[in-house]
């Protein structure tokens, strides 16, 4: 077995081939074992050694050179290529040349089957050395198999083909999206990831041909067709899952950059960073999601875009999409509510734009009397999904009120009340801890400037605004002055000049805040010890600085009475009160979408620095979410409520591997096949409708 290079008119570089000598009736001939193309560049000085190591590896033999890692890298790639694409005679073709029992002299011949019966292929048999059986080249199969199935089920190949992508680009796009679904690597790291999964077996590709530049280019290509892909993809999901167009959810989130992102005009700093990374620039991602959690459309805004200012642009895009149909009902959280947005929503003639929104706290205050006096009724049938296990839920009470042509749903939630009370108590504790720390610093003299102290108090009020409104915080600066006793001037006693000079200097420092209160007190004690008689005839006025705070009980009690209460508003007068509540609670699916994108699909942080790379990265995460949500939605229809992270972990133990079987005849059988499907694998595959019985198996006879 040896390597040779062959030229081709289709390639500028020589093609590397591994060949072996075989004996025929016409003499010795050379037969190609595997063609390695132009991607594997083995130095000529090592080709003979690598060829010998490949043969030993296939025969299951150990070599003294296995510690040469630089050579074993080549050996691993060649052996894997042979086991997947090798042109050696397969075990079946070798065994079919003789009867099954030919190796057993004296055995009875098999009965002849009737002509009508179709002959079944002979079973493969071999005697092997059990102790020498080995396996290796394990590659993760389970998550890739599930992702590949739903890639085809959502009709991604057809959608991308309609956008003008070639088969090679479609395969690259699939690998990029599946990586985001499974591993969340960067484009630079995807080629290394491909060597850990069964992409060659499942997708029939040569992973050595994929470099990171292909994944950067496919990101740009997909971004060019973003609108068409999202439209066709959602249309396919509508057909597949029987989705409705009547309800859309809308909200925003943000994701931050690692680095300055100076080349991205959308990257901006924002103090309202939801991950508390105000030190990093960010971009804002807006999602329009249907009532089942499938993404209809996404937009990327600059980092300073707020929830309230983005609504107009989204409505304009929805109007273009629904020119020939009625607009869906939009559902927002209170972050989108502003005076300008409410005027925008109400400006549509005859209420053509329907909405359900959560009102802001200042609007809730106008319904305090109703919250305290109206007859609320308990909400029943809170579980829309009948397959869910019934668990004890906190009570929710609702009351519907019509006012100014709008419907207002007043809601009281015991669970929300407990949560808001806990949050309020925690925030109060943080505020009091911060005030205690500031007070200690003042007393110890570490904070002496009254202007800086007032600024710090202002920052605390801003940081803990939700509870600071019922706290009074007052700071009294220290006071220092001195004068002579009235009787000392009549006694004719003179004061030492040094004492007068020291007190004057001390007073100037105190007035300019150049000395702390503990230092001032210590200096006065020193002067008193040095001039006891003269100091005893002085009137010293010294008052310690004080920071005091207390709660305003009336305001605090009023705020606590509103805990657990929230107000919903809608212009859909055809809805019953329980329907309004259920529509608003579908926002939890939008929150789940944001959680999946950030925690499981690599939306944060962003390492790209240029605008098109960032937008492409986010779009690939959005496409991976379509796969993830389709998987979870399919499981929910089967009564299974596991998350994708759990499913991925369970099926990741299903792998491809190569088994080496050394036979007594001296030959070695290399079988590459998927592992045994365990019970948990089978259960998940069946619920998802994944075919795990037709996976390719390859056998090499050495």
In terms of Cβ atoms closer than 10 Å to its own Cβ (0-12, 13-18, 19+), residue 474 is exposed
pLDDT of residue 642: 92
pLDDT average, residue stretch 21-50: 86
Measure CA of the first residue to CA of the last residue in the chain; give whole Å. 12
Average of per-residue pLDDT across 1-19? 86
CA separation for the pair 425, 445 (Å, rounded): 30
What value does the mean pLDDT take over residues 313-326?
80
List the one residue out of 270, 317, 319, 273 whose CA is nearest residue 298: 317
Q: What is the mean pLDDT of residues 304-326?
A: 79
Q: CA 27 to CA 619: how far, in whole Å?
A: 60
pLDDT band at 387 (very low <50, low <70, confident <90, very high): very low
pLDDT at position 66, please?
A: 58
pLDDT of 390 above 80: no
108 pLDDT more than 50: no
Beta bridge partners, 329, equal: 247
pLDDT band at 477 (very low <50, low <70, confident <90, very high): very high
Lowest mean pLDDT among 28-37, 108-117, 409-418, 681-690: 108-117
Per-residue confidence band for 165, with pLDDT thresholds at 50, 70 and 90: very high
Q: Report DSSP state, residue 197.
A: B
Is the separation of the CB atoms in 327 and 353 below 8 Å?
A: yes
Edge-to-edge strand ranges of the sheet holding 27-37:
2-8, 11-24, 27-37
Q: What is the pLDDT of residue 283?
A: 92
Instruction: Point out the least confidently predicted range of 25-34, 172-181, 481-490.
Output: 481-490
Q: How far is CA 468 from the centre of its chain?
A: 34
The predicted pLDDT at position 130 comes to 87
What tokens were used for 427?
């925030």
Q: Which distant-in-sequence residues (6+ apart) come within 8 Å of 616 by Cβ?
A: 219, 220, 222, 223
Yes or no: say if 191 and 213 are a contact pair by the CB < 8 Å rule: no
Q: Which of 274-288, 307-321, 585-599 has the highest mean pLDDT?
A: 585-599
pLDDT for residue 274 is more than 80: no
Q: Which of 102-106, 127-131, 202-206, 273-277 has the lowest mean pLDDT?
A: 102-106
Give residue 674's pLDDT.
93
**Predicted local distance difference test score (pLDDT) of residue 67:** 59
Q: Residue 65 has what pLDDT?
A: 62
What integer pLDDT is reported at residue 32 of this predicted model?
87
Pairing, β 406-413 against β 27-37? unpaired
E-strand ranges in 455-614 read 471-476, 479-484, 538-543, 546-551, 565-570
Is the pLDDT score of 388 beyond 80? no
Computed over every residue of the chain, the mean pLDDT equals 85
Beta bridge partners of 565: 412
Highest-pLDDT range among 92-101, 125-134, 304-313: 125-134
| pLDDT band at 310; cut points 50, 70, 90 | confident
pLDDT over 50 (residue 572): yes
- pLDDT grade, residue 89 (50/70/90)? very low
* 329-332 and 355-358 beta bridge pairing: parallel
Q: Output the pLDDT for position 634.
A: 95
pLDDT band at 493 (very low <50, low <70, confident <90, very high): low
In this prediction, residue 245 has a pLDDT band, given cuts at 50, 70 and 90, of confident
Query: What number of H helices and E strands is found in the chain?
Result: 27, 20
pLDDT surpasses 90 at 668: no
As a dihedral over the C-alpha atoms of residue 472, residue 478, residue 484, residue 485, rounded to 10 degrees, the angle is 40
CA angle, 38 then 44 then 50, to 5°: 85
Give the residue from 476, 478, 480 showing the smallest Cα distance to 539.
480
Model confidence band, residue 489 (pLDDT cutoffs 50, 70, 90): low
Q: Is 438 helix (H, G, I), strand (E, B) or coil?
A: helix
Q: Quick check: 392 pLDDT over 70?
A: no
Band of the pLDDT at 425, cuts 50, 70, 90?
Answer: very high
pLDDT at 542 over 50: yes
Q: What is the average per-residue pLDDT within 505-513? A: 91
Distance of alpha carbon 582 from its chain centroid, rounded? 27
Q: How confident is the model at residue 386 (pLDDT cuts 50, 70, 90)?
A: very low
pLDDT of residue 95: 40
Of these ranges, 10-14, 289-293, 324-328, 332-336, the one predicted with the greatest mean pLDDT is 289-293
In percent, the amount of the chain with pLDDT more than 70 equals 89
Burial 15-54 (b: 16+ CB within 10 A, else e): ebbbbeeeeeeeeeeeeebbebbeeeebeeeebebbbebb
Reported as a single tens digit per residue, the pLDDT across 71-83 is 888 888 888 777 6
CA distance 329 to 344: 15
Residues 568-574 have a mean pLDDT of 90
- Burial label for 153, CB within 10 Å (0-12, 13-18, 19+), is middle
How do the domains of the chain map onto residue ranges?
A: 2-88, 479-544
């Amino acid at each position: 077995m040896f390597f040779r290079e062959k030229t081709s008119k289709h390639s500028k570089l020589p093609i590397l081939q591994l060949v072996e000598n075989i004996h025929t009736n016409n003499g010795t001939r050379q037969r190609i074992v595997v063609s390695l193309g132009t991607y594997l560049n083995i130095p000529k000085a090592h080709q003979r050694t690598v060829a010998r190591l490949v043969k030993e590896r296939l025969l299951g033999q150990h070599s003294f050179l296995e510690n040469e890692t630089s050579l074993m890298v080549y050996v691993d790639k060649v052996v894997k290529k042979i086991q997947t694409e090798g042109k050696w005679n397969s075990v079946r073709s070798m065994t079919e040349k003789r009867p099954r029992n030919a190796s057993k002299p004296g055995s009875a011949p098999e009965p002849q089957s009737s002509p009508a019966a179709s002959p079944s292929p002979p079973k493969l048999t071999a005697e092997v050395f059990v102790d020498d059986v080995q396996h290796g080249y394990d590659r993760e199969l389970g998550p890739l198999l599930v992702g590949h199935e739903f890639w085809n089920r959502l009709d991604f190949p057809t959608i991308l083909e309609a956008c003008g992508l070639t088969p090679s680009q479609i395969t690259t796009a699939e690998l990029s999206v599946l990586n985001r679904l499974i591993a969340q690597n960067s484009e630079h790291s995807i080629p290394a990831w491909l060597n850990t999964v069964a992409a060659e077996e499942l997708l029939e590709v040569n992973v050595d041909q994929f470099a990171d530049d292909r994944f950067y280019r496919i990101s740009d290509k997909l971004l060019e067709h973003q609108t068409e892909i999202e439209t066709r993809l959602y249309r396919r999901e509508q057909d597949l899952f029987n989705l409705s167009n009547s309800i859309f959810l809308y909200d925003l989130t943000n994701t931050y950059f690692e680095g300055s992102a100076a080349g991205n005009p959308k990257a901006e700093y924002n103090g309202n960073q939801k991950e508390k990374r105000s030190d990093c620039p960010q971009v804002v991602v807006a999602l329009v999601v249907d009532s089942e959690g499938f993404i209809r459309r996404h937009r990327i805004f600059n980092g300073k875009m707020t929830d309230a200012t983005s609504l107009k642009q989204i409505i304009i895009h929805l109007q273009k999409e629904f020119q020939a149909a009625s607009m869906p009902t939009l559902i927002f959280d209170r972050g989108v509510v502003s005076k300008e947005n409410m005027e925008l929503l109400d400006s549509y003639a005859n209420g053509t734009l329907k909405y359900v929104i959560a009102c802001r706290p200042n609007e809730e205050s106008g319904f305090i009397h109703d919250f305290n006096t109206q007859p609320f009724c308990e909400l029943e049938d809170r579980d829309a999904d009948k397959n869910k296990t019934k668990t004890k839920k906190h009570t929710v009470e609702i009351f519907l009120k019509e006012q100014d042509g709008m419907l207002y749903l007043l809601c009281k939630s015991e669970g929300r009340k407990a949560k808001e009370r806990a949050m309020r108590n925690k925030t109060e504790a943080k505020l009091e801890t911060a005030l205690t720390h500031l007070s200690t610093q003042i007393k110890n003299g570490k904070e002496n400037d009254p202007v800086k102290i007032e600024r710090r108090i202002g920052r605390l009020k801003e940081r803990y605004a939700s509870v600071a409104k019922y706290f009074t915080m007052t700071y009294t600066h220290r006071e220092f002055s001195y004068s002579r006793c009235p009787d000392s001037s009549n006694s004719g006693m003179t004061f030492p000049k040094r004492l007068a000079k020291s007190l004057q200097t001390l007073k100037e420092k105190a007035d300019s805040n150049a000395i702390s209160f503990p230092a001032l007190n210590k200096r006065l004690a020193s002067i008193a010890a040095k001039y006891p008689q003269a100091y005893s005839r002085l009137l010293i006025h010294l008052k310690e600085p004080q920071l005091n705070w207390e709660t305003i009980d009336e305001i605090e009690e009023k705020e606590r009475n509103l805990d657990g209460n929230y107000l919903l508003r809608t212009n859909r007068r055809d809805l019953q009160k329980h329907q309004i509540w259920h529509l608003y609670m579908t926002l939890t699916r939008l929150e789940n979408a944001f959680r999946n994108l950030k925690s499981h699909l690599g939306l944060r942080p962003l390492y790209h620095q240029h605008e098109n790379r960032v937008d492409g990265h986010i779009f690939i995460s959005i496409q991976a979410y379509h796969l993830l949500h389709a998987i979870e939605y399919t499981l929910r229809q089967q009564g299974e409520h596991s998350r994708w992270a759990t499913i991925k972990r369970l099926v990741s133990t299903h792998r491809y591997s190569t088994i080496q079987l050394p036979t007594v005849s001296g030959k070695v059988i290399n079988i590459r096949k998927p592992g045994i499907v365990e019970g948990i694998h089978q259960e998940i595959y069946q619920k998802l409708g994944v075919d795990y019985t037709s996976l390719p198996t390859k056998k090499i006879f050495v």
